[in-house]
C-alpha cells in the first residue's frame, strides 16, 4: 500500500530497512545491480571514466541500473529513472509528453525553450542529447543506465554542473537469438516489442541487431470533447533501431546504430487549480452568455473539457563508434553522432477549460489613445498555444586511451558540437481588466470586467557551437593508493536570430578551464575511500522570451568524499557519499506571463550552496532474496538572489524568500526482490519498489507567482510491483509471463505546475494514477 511519509518519518523507515538489509547503500542503486549468482552480488562494469571498470572501484558518485533491473522495473525511457539513484528526479513538463526536467542534487532545468541548456547532460552511447525538450523517446534494447552525480566537467564538459545520465544500448550478439514481447494494461495500454540478433555472418566479423517497438494507450483523464484515444496523456508510438558491429578479433572494432522514434500524443492533463478573484468574477457569467462554466480545483479532476490538438515528435539519430588498438596499451576511439528532433503542437490548452464565454474589447485599449472598442461576447481562452520546433546536432569526440606500464592510465581527447534549432510559438490569451462602470450584457446580465484577446508570438532561430580539449590521468602510487587529475578547456559560441516578439540578432562567446582532482585508497580489498574536488561550468546564452535576453555562465566548485564497500562475501554493498558544492552566477529560470504571452527570464541569481549526503545499499542475505535502498538529502541555500524590483526599479537581494524549484530536498527508494528457481516448470520472480520524494515547488519566487505555494506538491511515496514466471517451455521457445502494477495504491501527486503570475491563474498536471497490466515475452 502506498504510504505518504512526511517529515523525518521516511528517514526512520529507510534506516529500518537498511538495518534489516544489513545496512544502506550501493552505488548501483537498484536490484538490477543485485542480480544474484552463487557467489553473491554480481559485479557491475561501468564506463563512467571513458574506460570499463568495476563500479565499486570507480572513485565517483555513480549509480548503475542493469538490463535486468530495467526490465524488472519496466523502464524504457528517461522519465522512468526518477529516484533510481540518490538525489535524482525526472518529471514531465506541461504541454508535452516528450519534454523532461532532470535534476541531480537539486540542479536541473525545467524551461523547454531551445536556447537554455540543462545542467544535467543526457548521453546515448556516448553522444550527447542536446535538448531536454524531446528527450523522452523510447529506447529499444537498453543494456545499462549510468547516473553520474555532481560536476563532470573534465570528461563530459560544459552543462554537467549537476551531473550526467548515460544510456548504453546492447550491442549485437555473437550468436543468433530473437525475442518478442506483448503487453496489455489499463487505459487500453497495448505494447509490442521484437528484437532479432543475426549473430556473426560467416567469418565476416559482422553482426546485426534489429529491434522494433510499438506502444499505444488512451489518456488517463477524460476529455469530454474527445474520444478516449485522444484524451490527455494518450500516445501512439513506433520506434525501431538498427545496430551493426564489425569485430574480427583484431585491432579494429566498429559499432553503428540508427534509431528512429515517431510519437503521436496528447499533452498530459492540465487543469486549472487557482484563479484570482477578478478572473473568477469575469467568467462567472460564462454560462449565462452561452458558454461553459469555469471549472477549477486543486484536487485531481478526472473529467475535463479541453481544446487541445495532437503533438507529434519525431526523433532520429546516427551513432558511429570506431576503436582501433594502436598498441597493446594504446587505443584510439572516435564517437560520431548526428541527431534530429522535429516537434509540432497542433494546440495545447493551458487554462484547463474549453468554451468559456466573456465580453471582450479590441486590443486598441492597451495603446494610446486607448480607444474602447467593444467586440461583443465571444469565446475566450485564458491561455492556449501552438508550436513548431526543430533541433538538429552534429557531434564528434576523439579519445586516446592508454597506459604507461602499470603506473599510469590516461585518456586524452577532443570534442566538437554544433547545433541548430528553431521555434515558432503563436499564443492566444485573454487579459482581464476592470471596467470603470458596469457593462450591461442583456437579459439582466452585467459585468464589471472585460477581456482583451491577444495573440502574441515567439519566433526565433538559434545556433550553438562548442569545441573542447581534455585530458585525465590516474597514477597508481601503490597497489592501494591512486591519484587522479584532469583538465578541460572549452570554447562556446551562441547566436540568437529572433523575429518575434522582439526583433534582435545576438551573439556571444564563452570559454572556461575546468579541472578535477581525486584520490582513492583501498582500505581493504572490499573497502574503498575516495575524495574528489571538481569544477564545472554551464554555458551562458540567450532567452528569447525575456526582454533582457542574455545571461552569463554559471560555475561550480564541488567537494566530495565517499566510501564504497562490498562486505560479507559480496552479500552486501554499502556506499556513502557526502558533498558540498558552491555555485557562482547560478542560472535560474523564472516563468512569467503577461500581455506579451508566456515568457520567462533566465537570471544569474547569484550564489548558492548545496550540501548533502547520499547512501545506497544492495544486499543478498540469502540466495534468491535481494534488498536495495537509496537515500539522498540536499541542504540548499541561496547566499544571494538579486532581482530588479518592478515597483522601485531597484536591485533587491531576495535570497531569504527564494525557493529551489522542480526538485525536492529528499529522495528515497527501496526495493525487495525474491527469485525462486526450484520449480519443475520454471522460476518465479516477485518484486516490490517504493519511491519517495519530499515537497517540490514549481517557481522560485512567490512574489512573482502568487499561487506558487498553493500549487506546490507535498511529499509523496508510491509503490510499484511485478510478479513474473519465467523459463516456461512453449513450443520451442522460453516464455515469461508477468503481472505488474505502477502506483498501485493510487497516490495523487503532480508532474508539474504553472503560475501565470499577472494573468491571474495557475494550473497543475497530475501524474498517472494506478496502472496495471500483463506482459508476455518469448525468447527464441
Helix/strand/coil (H/E/C) assignment for every residue in 218-250: CCCCEECCCCHHHCCCCEEEEEEEEEEEEECCC
- Model pLDDT, residue 35: 40
Domain assignment present for 494:
yes
598 has a pLDDT exceeding 70 = no
Given pLDDT bands bounded at 50, 70 and 90, which one contains residue 600? low
- Model pLDDT, residue 594: 60
Domain assignment present for 746:
yes
Place of cell 489518456: 219
770 and 746 in contact (C-beta within 8 Å)? yes
Q: Compute the distance between CA of residue 753 and CA of residue 710 in angstroms, rounded to an integer.
A: 10
Domain assignment present for 402:
no
46 has a pLDDT exceeding 70 = yes
- Model pLDDT, residue 133: 76
Domain assignment present for 387:
no
280 has a pLDDT exceeding 60 = yes
Count of domains for the chain? 1
Least confident of 66-70, 612-616, 634-638: 66-70
Given pLDDT bands bounded at 50, 70 and 90, which one contains residue 3? very low
Average pLDDT, the chain: 90
Cβ atoms within 10 Å of 504's Cβ, excluding its own = 12
- Model pLDDT, residue 29: 35
pLDDT in tens, 720-759: 999 999 999 888 899 999 999 999 999 999 999 999 988 9
Mean pLDDT value across residues 365-393:
95
Given pLDDT bands bounded at 50, 70 and 90, which one contains residue 109? confident
Domain assignment of residue 341, given as a range: 9-296+315-377+464-779
CA triple 698-700-704, angle to 5 deg? 100
624 has a pLDDT exceeding 80 = yes
- Model pLDDT, residue 586: 84
Domain assignment present for 148:
yes
Q: What are the beta bridge partners of residue 487?
A: 471, 515
Place of cell 542560472: 587
Q: 372 in helix, strand or coil?
A: coil
What is the four-CA torsion angle of 371, 376, 380, 385, rounded to 10 degrees?
A: -50
Q: What is the DSSP string of 55-104?
A: GGG--S-EEEEEHHHHHHTT--SGGGGTTSSTTEEEEEPSS-SS-EEEEE
- Model pLDDT, residue 158: 82
Domain assignment present for 389:
no
Least confident of 18-22, 71-75, 539-543, 665-669: 18-22
474-487 per-residue burial string, b: 16 or more CB within 10 A, e: under 16: beeeeeeebebebb
Closest by alpha carbon to 201, among 161, 241, 247?
247
159 has a pLDDT exceeding 50 = yes
- Model pLDDT, residue 236: 96
CATH number for the domain spanning 633: value is 2.40.170.20
432 has a pLDDT exceeding 90 = yes
5 has a pLDDT exceeding 70 = no
- Model pLDDT, residue 591: 64
Whole-number percent of the chain with pLDDT over 70: 93
Mean pLDDT value across residues 400-408:
95
- Model pLDDT, residue 589: 73
Grid cell in block for residue 738: 508477468
What does the DSSP 8-state code read for residue 27?
A: T
Q: Compute the distance between CA of residue 268 and CA of residue 271 in angstroms, rounded to an integer.
A: 10
Angstrom CA distances, 761 to 276, 432, 647, 764, stand at 6, 11, 21, 11
- Model pLDDT, residue 559: 97
248 and 174 in contact (C-beta within 8 Å)? no
Q: Compute the distance between CA of residue 496 and CA of residue 265 in angstroms, rounded to an integer.
A: 30
Mean pLDDT value across residues 2-25:
35
Given pLDDT bands bounded at 50, 70 and 90, which one contains residue 776? very high
Helix H or strand E segment including 11: helix 9-21
- Model pLDDT, residue 23: 32
- Model pLDDT, residue 522: 97
Domain assignment present for 394:
no
Provide the strand spans (E) within 544-665. Answer: 550-551, 554-567, 572-584, 587-594, 597-604, 607-622, 625-638, 642-644, 651-653
Grid cell in block for residue 248: 574480427
In sequence order, which residues have a C-beta less than 8 Å from that of residue 154 and are 6 or more positions away?
470, 472, 486, 487, 488, 514, 515, 516, 534
CA triple 306-348-220, angle to 5 deg? 55
Given pLDDT bands bounded at 50, 70 and 90, which one contains residue 680? confident
User: CB under 8 Å, gap of 24 or more: what pairs does 292-295 form?
Assistant: 292/353, 292/354, 292/355, 292/356, 292/357, 294/353, 294/356, 295/352, 295/353
- Model pLDDT, residue 637: 94
Domain assignment present for 453:
no
Least confident of 25-39, 218-232, 515-529, 665-679: 25-39
- Model pLDDT, residue 242: 97
38 has a pLDDT exceeding 80 = no
Amino acid at each position: 500500500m502506498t504510504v505518504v511519509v512526511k517529515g523525518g518519518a521516511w528517514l526512520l523507515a529507510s534506516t529500518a530497512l537498511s538495518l534489516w538489509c544489513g545496512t544502506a547503500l550501493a552505488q548501483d542503486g537498484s536490484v538490477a545491480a543485485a542480480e544474484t549468482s552463487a557467489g553473491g552480488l554480481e559485479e557491475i562494469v561501468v564506463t563512467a571514466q571513458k574506460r570499463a571498470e568495476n563500479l565499486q572501484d570507480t572513485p565517483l558518485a555513480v549509480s548503475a541500473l542493469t538490463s535486468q533491473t530495467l526490465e524488472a522495473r519496466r523502464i524504457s525511457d528517461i522519465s522512468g529513472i526518477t529516484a533510481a539513484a540518490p538525489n535524482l528526479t525526472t518529471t514531465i513538463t506541461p504541454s508535452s509528453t516528450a519534454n523532461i526536467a532532470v535534476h541531480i542534487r537539486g540542479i536541473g532545468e525545467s524551461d523547454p525553450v531551445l536556447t537554455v541548456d540543462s545542467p544535467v547532460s543526457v548521453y546515448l552511447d556516448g553522444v550527447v542529447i542536446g535538448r531536454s525538450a524531446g528527450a523522452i523517446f523510447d529506447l529499444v534494447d537498453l543494456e545499462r543506465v549510468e547516473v553520474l552525480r555532481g560536476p563532470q566537467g573534465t570528461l563530459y564538459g560544459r552543462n554537467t554542473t549537476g551531473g550526467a545520465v548515460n544510456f548504453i544500448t546492447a550491442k549485437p550478439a555473437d550468436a543468433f537469438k530473437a525475442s518478442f514481447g506483448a503487453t496489455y494494461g489499463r487505459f487500453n495500454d497495448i505494447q509490442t516489442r521484437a528484437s532479432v540478433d543475426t549473430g556473426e555472418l560467416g567469418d565476416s566479423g559482422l553482426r546485426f541487431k534489429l529491434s522494433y517497438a510499438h506502444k499505444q494507450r488512451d489518456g488517463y483523464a477524460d476529455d469530454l470533447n474527445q474520444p478516449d484515444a485522444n484524451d490527455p496523456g494518450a500516445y501512439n508510438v513506433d520506434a525501431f533501431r538498427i545496430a551493426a558491429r564489425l569485430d574480427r578479433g583484431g585491432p579494429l572494432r566498429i559499432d553503428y546504430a540508427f534509431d528512429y522514434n515517431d510519437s503521436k500524443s496528447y499533452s498530459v492533463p492540465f487543469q486549472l487549480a487557482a484563479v484570482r478573484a477578478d478572473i473568477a468574477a469575469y467568467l462567472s457569467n460564462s454560462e449565462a452568455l452561452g458558454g461553459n462554466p469555469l471549472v477549477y480545483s486543486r484536487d485531481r479532476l478526472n473529467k475535463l473539457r479541453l481544446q487541445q490538438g495532437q503533438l507529434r515528435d519525431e526523433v532520429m539519430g546516427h551513432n558511429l563508434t570506431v576503436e582501433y588498438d594502436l598498441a597493446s596499451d594504446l587505443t584510439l576511439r572516435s564517437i560520431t553522432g548526428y541527431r534530429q528532433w522535429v516537434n509540432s503542437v497542433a494546440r495545447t490548452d493551458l487554462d484547463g477549460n474549453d468554451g468559456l464565454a466573456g465580453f471582450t474589447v479590441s486590443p486598441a485599449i492597451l495603446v494610446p489613445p486607448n480607444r474602447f472598442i467593444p467586440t461583443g461576447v465571444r469565446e475566450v481562452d485564458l491561455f492556449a498555444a501552438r508550436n513548431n520546433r526543430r533541433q538538429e546536432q552534429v557531434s564528434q569526440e576523439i579519445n586516446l586511451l592508454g597506459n604507461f606500464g602499470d603506473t599510469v592510465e590516461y585518456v586524452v581527447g577532443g570534442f566538437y558540437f554544433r547545433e541548430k534549432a528553431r521555434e515558432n510559438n503563436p499564443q492566444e490569451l485573454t487579459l482581464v481588466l476592470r471596467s470603470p462602470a458596469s457593462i450591461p450584457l442583456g437579459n439582466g446580465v452585467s459585468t464589471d470586467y472585460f477581456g482583451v484577446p491577444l495573440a502574441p508570438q515567439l519566433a526565433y532561430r538559434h545556433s550553438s557551437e562548442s569545441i573542447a580539449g581534455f585530458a585525465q590521468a590516474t597514477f597508481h602510487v601503490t597497489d592501494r593508493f591512486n591519484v587522479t587529475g584532469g583538465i578541460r578547456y572549452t570554447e562556446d559560441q551562441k547566436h540568437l536570430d529572433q523575429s518575434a516578439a522582439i526583433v534582435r540578432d545576438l551573439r556571444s562567446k564563452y570559454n572556461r578551464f575546468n579541472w578535477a582532482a581525486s584520490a582513492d585508497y583501498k582500505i581493504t580489498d572490499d573497502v574503498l575511500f575516495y575524495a574528489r574536488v571538481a569544477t564545472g561550468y554551464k554555458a551562458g546564452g540567450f532567452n528569447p522570451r525575456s526582454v533582457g535576453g542574455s545571461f552569463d555562465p554559471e560555475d561550480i566548485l564541488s567537494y566530495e568524499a565517499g566510501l564504497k564497500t562490498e562486505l560479507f562475501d559480496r552479500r552486501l554493498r554499502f556506499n556513502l557519499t557526502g558533498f558540498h558544492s558552491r555555485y557562482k552566477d547560478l542560472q535560474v529560470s523564472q516563468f512569467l506571463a503577461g500581455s506579451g504571452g508566456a515568457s520567462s527570464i533566465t537570471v544569474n541569481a547569484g550564489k548558492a550552496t548545496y550540501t548533502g549526503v547520499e547512501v545506497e545499499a544492495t544486499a543478498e542475505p540469502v540466495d534468491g532474496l535481494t534488498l536495495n535502498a537509496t537515500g539522498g538529502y540536499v541542504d540548499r541555500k541561496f547566499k544571494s538572489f538579486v532581482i530588479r524590483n518592478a515597483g522601485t526599479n531597484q536591485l533587491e537581494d531576495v535570497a531569504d524568500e527564494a525557493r529551489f524549484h522542480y526538485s525536492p530536498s529528499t529522495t528515497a527508494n527501496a526495493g525487495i526482490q525474491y527469485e525462486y528457481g526450484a520449480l519443475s516448470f520454471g522460476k518465479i520472480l516477485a518484486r516490490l519498489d517504493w519511491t519517495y520524494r519530499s515537497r517540490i515547488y514549481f517557481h522560485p519566487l512567490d512574489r512573482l507567482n502568487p499561487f506558487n505555494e498553493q500549487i506546490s506538491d507535498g511529499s509523496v511515496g508510491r509503490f510499484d510491483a511485478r510478479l513474473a514466471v519465467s523459463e516456461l517451455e512453449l513450443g520451442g521457445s522460453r516464455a515469461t509471463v508477468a503481472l505488474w502494477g505502477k502506483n498501485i495504491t493510487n497516490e495523487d501527486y503532480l508532474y508539474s505546475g504553472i503560475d501565470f503570475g499577472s494573468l491571474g491563474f495557475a494550473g497543475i498536471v497530475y501524474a498517472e494514477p494506478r496502472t496495471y497490466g500483463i506482459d508476455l515475452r518469448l525468447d527464441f
